[in-house]
Amino acid sequence: MIDRRTFLAGAGAMLFAAPLAAEAQQTAKIVRIGLLSYAASGSASAARWTALRERLRELGTWRDRT
């Protein structure tokens, strides 16, 4: 036979453990980068944009829109 103290300790432990098991996984954070460019469009500006995209791709934060 189980005594009252053991029962309450077991019930309390279950109440504290239940929320830990029911937590959902965190969704991946979406990173957004804003960039203002004051340079006129040209080959130098295009080269900077290309370099930025390549570096972000290397870091794993750039996805090409398809």
| Token reading at 45 | 């500006």
The whole-number pLDDT of residue 34 equals 76
- For the whole model, what pTM was predicted? 0.43
48 vs 35: CA distance, rounded Å = 12
The whole-number pLDDT of residue 65 equals 65
Q: What are the residue boundaries of the structural domains of the chain, listed by start?
A: 4-59
Contacts of 61 by beta carbon, 8 Å cutoff, 6+ apart: 31
Give the residue with greater pLDDT, 61 vs 23: 61
| DSSP string covering 32-60 | -------SPSSHHHHHHHHHHHHHHHHHT
The whole-number pLDDT of residue 25 equals 67
56 vs 31: CA distance, rounded Å = 11
Residues 14-55 pLDDT 10s: 777 655 555 666 677 777 777 777 766 777 778 888 888 888
